[in-house]
Amino acid sequence: MVEERWRIQCFGKVQFVGFRYTARVLAKDLRLTGWVKNLHDGSVLLEAQGGTAQLRKLLIRLKSQPHIHIEKAVITVLPLLPDEHTFRVTGI
């Protein structure tokens, strides 16, 4: 299985809708590691690591949530963090 680490910045109706906690639940179900946090500009930033197919599923499932409206998602591929073992909510 090919593993990657994605940084995804999501714009739209993504704060005050349970985005971070939904992302954590979905990431854990998909066995991804990483973190998610709100940014001061109203967007949400997350880094997730795991199989490429699971990372795609995470983004698809986030986009399919009725209470979340992602207008734009910017994805950057990052180096893997080999010692990371959980997915957590962090930041503001």
Kindly list the averaged pLDDT for each block of 10 residues, start to end, along the chain of length 92.
94 97 98 98 98 98 97 98 96 72
Given the residues 5, 7, 31, 38, the one annotated as active site: 38
Amino acid letter for position 59: L
The number of beta carbons lying within 10 Å of the beta carbon of residue 26 is 20
pLDDT at residue 22, rounded to an integer: 98
Architecture of the structural domain at 8-80:
2-Layer Sandwich (3.30)
Q: What is the pLDDT of residue 91?
A: 76
Out of 5, 7, 20, 24, the active site residue is 20
Is there a catalytic annotation at residue 38?
Answer: yes
Tell me what pLDDT residue 92 has.
67
Q: Edge-to-edge, what's the strand order for the sheet holding 33-38?
A: 69-78, 3-13, 44-51, 33-38, 87-89
The verdict on pTM exceeding 0.85 is: yes
List the domain boundaries for the chain.
8-80
| pLDDT for residue 2 | 85
What residues have CB less than 8 Å from 21, skipping those under 6 apart?
89
Q: Distance between CA 26 and CA 36 in Å, rounded?
A: 12
Q: Is 20 an annotated catalytic residue?
A: yes
